[in-house]
Structure 1
Amino acid sequence: MNFTKTLLLTIMFLVSVNALALDKKTLEKFSQYDNNSEFVIIYDDVEAILKASVLYMGNSTRQKAKKSKASIGTRFRNKVKALTDLEGNRFHYEAFDTPEKIQLMTNVRKSLESLPSNSPLHFFSKDEQLAYWLNLYNVSLLEQLLLIYPRRNLESLTEKGQLFDQKNLLVDNEKLSLNDIKSIVIHNFGYDPLLIYGFHQGYIASPDIRREPYTGKRVWKILERNANLFINSNRGTFSDGSKTFRVSKLYEQNKAFFKDFDEDLRDHLKKYLNRSYKSKLLATDEIKTNTTNWKIADLYGTERKYGGSVSTSSAALIDAFVAKGPDGIKENVSFTNSGYMNSNITNFSPLKGRFSEAQIQKMKTMMKLQEIRKGTVTITDEEESESQEK
C-alpha cells in the first residue's frame, strides 16, 4: 500500500471517529444539574415491561452447562459454552413476536427519549439523571435487539460498534448513540467502575438486565448489586486453581476505568469477590481478560431445537434457567407471560406518567421563570421577574 493511500485511509478513519464522538458543547449541555431538586422521574412503564420480560437468575452457583445432545431425527446440536451458558438474567425476546409487541418497547423508548425536551434535565439531581440515562440506554438497546431478533450471536455487532455507534436517538434535539449516552455518563460521573455494570450489552456475558428500572434514590445500590452478581459469576471471574485468573473481556473493553489496569482491576474485584475466590485472585500472578459469551441473553436461545421426530415444550425449558441457591433449592423467582405486556404497558407521554401532578405544576412554573430569565439583561431585572412570578 503506497503512502498516499495509507494517508487517505488514516484521514477517513479520523473523520469517522470524530463524527461519532460527542463534542464538548453537547457534553456540557447534559452536565448541568440541581442536587437540591426534589423532582423524581417515575418509570412505571419501564418497570412493567421489565417485570413482564426479564427472568431473574439470582446468585450464580458457577455451575457449568452440559454438552447438548442431538435430537432424534437430526445430527445437529447446539454449541455450548459450558462456563457461561447458564449465567445471567434472560430477556424474553421470544414473546415480542409481532410488530405490535415490539411497538410497546418503542413507545417506552420514545417517551424516555422525549422527556428532556419537556422537562429539562438540569432541573434534576445528578443521581436522578444517572438513572434516566441508564434506563434510556437499556430500553433503547432492547428495542434495537428486538428489531434484529432472532439473531443469536452479537459478537460482530458489538466488536465493530455497529450496535452501539448508530445515532438512533434524538434527545433534546441532539442525535445520540448508545455510546454517546455512555460518554455523557462518564463526563458527569467520571470513571467509577460501578458504572460499567449499568450498561447491559445484550449478550450472556454482559452485566445483567434488571427486573426493575434504575431510580435516583436506588441507582448506586442497584449498580452495587449488579457488580456483585457479575463478579461472583463465571461471566465475570473464573479460576481453575492455576496461576492465571480469568476475567470477562468486558474489563478490557472498559480499560479506561482502571488507570493502572492490573492493579486497579484487582482492587476492584477484591472488593466484591466472595472469600474463596478472593483468595484465588490473591494467589495468581496473571489476569487474562478472555472470558466471553456473545450469545444473545434470550430465554430459549441456548436450547434451540433443530427439529426432529420428537418435539418438546419450550415452556419446560424455563426450569433450566431457574435460579438456585448454594444448597440447590430454587429461589423465589417469578416470570410473567407476554399477555401481561399487552394489558399493562401503555403509551406514556413525556409528562403524564413520568411525574406527579404537583411536580408537573412546579416544573411548569420553573420553566416559565427560565424563559423570563433568558430575556433579562441585568440581575436586578431577573430578581424582579422572579419575585413577580412568585
Structure 2
Amino acid sequence: MPHLPRLLALAALLSGTALAGGAPAAAQSPRGEAELATFAPSDTPGNDRIDYSIWDEAMKNIVISMGPSLREGAPRPDPSFGTRRQYGHVSRYRLEGTRVMFSFLDADVIASFTEYRKDLENTANIVDIQSLSRNEQLAYWINLHNVAMVEQIANAWPVRQPRDIKVDGVPLDEARFITVEGIKLSPRDIREKIVYRHWKDPVVIYGFWRGEIGGPSLQKEAFNADNVARLLQRGAGDFVNSLRGSQDQGGRLQVAELYREAAPFFFPDFEKDVRAHLTRYADQTTAALLAKASGADPVIAEYDIADIEGGVREPTYQNITSNGVSTSFRIPQSVAALLRERETKFQEIIRQGRTGTVTFSNITLPGDESEPAEVE
C-alpha cells in the first residue's frame, strides 16, 4: 500500500488532538456445506507464517479508537453551524469502539485495498491455508474478511449504513466477491461457514468487523498467529463492557443482536449461554448489571457506519487546533465536534483513574494441549 504513508500526519494529529435504494439483489445459488468442507483445518498443521505488516501499517494509520465505554449514552449533538441540517454521527453509541477515516482516503489508497485483498486471496494458491496452525488460519480468515469489508465500504463511501451497499446487486455481506482456492466466498461465508464452523470458542466473533458502530471494533493492528488470542480478548472486553454489548432496561438484560446471529453456532441455550459468555469478559460494572438484570434479549443494534463523518460529505469545514496552535488542515465541522466529544471523554477517563491497560500475553483457551494459547 504505497499511498498509505500520506495518512501518517493526519493519523498522528487526530490520535491526540485538542480541537477549537439500490438495484434488486441478484440471485445466488444456495451455499452447500460440502463445498466449503475443503477449508477444514488439517490435523497435522505446519509451521508456515503469513506476513501482514502492510495491513498492520494501514490499521495504525486509518483507525481511530474512541476509548473504553463509560456506559453513558452520548447526547444528540447540535446541528452544524450555519445550517439546521444534522451532519455527522447522532448515535448514542458514537463514542464507543473504533472509527475508520474513510472520508480522508484518496482513490489510490482505496485501490490499494483491492490490490491487497487480491494478494491475500492469491496467498492461498501459494500456501496451504488449511495446513497452517489454527491461530495462523484464524488470523488469515479474519484479516481477509476485514480487508474485504474495508475495501468495499471505501469504494461505496459516502454511505450511511454498510448494509445498504451492494456488490453486483447483492448485499455486501452476502456477495461472493472473495475467491480463495477457486471458491467464491462472501464475508458471511467466511464468518459462519468457515470460522464459526471450525472454531468452537465464541470469542472469534469479536475479530470480524462489519463496518457498523453497533458491532465489534476494528483493531488498530493486523491479526497474526502470535496476537490473535490477545486481540480477540481485547475485542471481547471492549464489546461486552459497552452499551452496544449489554444494557439494563427496566430490570431486563438487553444484549446485542450479534449474539442472536451467532446463537446457532455458540449459544444453543441462548439465555444461559449468552449470560455465561458475558460473565467471562465482564468488568465490575457489567458483572453488577448481569447480577441485577434478568433474561437476555438480543435487541441492541446500531447500523450506522463506523467512520468519523457519519457517511456523508459535509460542505462546511473547520481548522484543527493542536496544542493551542491552529493548523492549515481543515476537517468537517461534524468531525471536529465528534473529536471534541472524544477528547472530553478521555479527560473523564483520566479523572476516573482508568488510564491503565492490562495485557495477558499467555492466554490459555480451550484447544490442543500442545498449543495452549490457540483459539479452538
TM range (shorter): 0.7 to 0.9
Tell me, yes or no, if structure 1 residue 261 matches structure 2 residue 293: no
Name the counterpart of 1:95. Answer: 104
Q: Specify whether residues 35 and 279 from structure 1 end up closer, same or farther in structure 2 by C-alpha distance, changes over 3 A only.
A: farther
Structure 2 counterpart of 1:220: 229
- Which SS does the other structure have where 1:254 is aligned? helix
Residue 194 of structure 2: aligned partner: 184
The alpha-carbon distance between structure 1 residues 316 and 70, as it changes in their structure 2 partners (threshold 3 A), is: closer
Letter in 1 for 2:298: T
> Residue 151 of structure 1 aligns with which residue?
159
**Aligned residue type for 1:275:** Q
Question: Secondary structure, in 3 states, of the residue corresponding to 1:86?
Answer: coil
Residues 279 and 302 of structure 1: CA distance in aligned 2, closer, same or farther (over 3 Å): farther
Q: 1:70 to 1:262 in 2, by over 3 A?
A: same
Asked whether the 8 Å contact 2:69–2:241 carries over to 1, the reply is yes
RMSD across aligned C-alpha pairs, in angstroms? Answer: 2.9
1:56 aligns with 2:65: yes
Q: CA deviation at 1:22?
A: 3.9
Residue 199 and residue 60 in structure 1: after superposition, are their counterparts in 2 closer, same or farther (change >3 A)? same
| Residue from 247, 251, 257 that aligns with 1:243 | 251
> Does the 8 A contact of 2:88 with 2:310 survive in 1?
no
**Unaligned segments of structure 1, at least 5 residues:** 1-15, 333-390
- Alpha-carbon offset, residue 235 of structure 1: 1.2
Larger strand proportion of the pair: 2
Verify the 8 A CA contact 1:66 1:80 in the aligned structure 2: no
- Higher helix proportion: 1
How far has the Cα of 1:311 moved from its partner? 5.2
Distance 1:157 1:261, change over 3 A: farther
State the AA in 1 paired with 2:116: V
**C-alpha distance in 2, partners of 1:289/1:84?**
16
Amino acid at match of 1:320: E
Question: Please, which runs of 5 or more residues in structure 2 have no aligned partner?
Answer: 1-26, 320-329, 357-376
Pick aligned residue for 2:351 from 319, 327, 334:
327
Change (3 A) 1:78 1:102: closer
Greater relative contact order (CA < 8 Å, ≥ 6 in sequence): 1
Give every structure 1 segment of 4 or more consecutive aligned residues whose post-TM-superposition deviation is greater than 4 Å: 78-82, 155-158, 302-307, 310-313, 328-332
State the secondary structure of the residue aligned to 2:79. Answer: coil
Does 2:306 correspond to 1:285? no
Change (3 A) 1:301 1:328: farther
3-state SS in 1 of match to 2:351: coil
Residue deviations 1:344-386, cap 9 Å, x none?
Answer: xxxxxxxxxxxxxxxxxxxxxxxxxxxxxxxxxxxxxxxxxxx
Tell me, yes or no, if structure 1 residue 69 matches structure 2 residue 78: yes
Q: Secondary structure at the match of 2:260?
A: helix
Q: CA deviation at 1:264?
A: 0.5
Q: How does 1:24-173 map to 2 (within 5 A)?
A: 24=34, 26-33=35-42, 36-78=45-87, 81=90, 83-96=92-105, 98-156=106-164, 162-173=171-182
**Cα deviation digits, residues 305-330 of structure 1 (max 9, x gap):** 565xx856427443433562362679
Specify the structure having the higher radius of gyration (Cα): 1
TM-score, normalising length from structure 2?
A: 0.75
In the alignment of these two chains, the number of paired residues is 312
Map 1:367-378 → 2, pairs under 5 A: none
Map of 1:355 onto structure 2: none
Whether the aligned pair in 1 keeps the contact of 2:153 and 2:165 (CA below 8 Å) is no
Distance in 2 (alpha carbons) for counterparts of 1:52 and 1:35 = 37
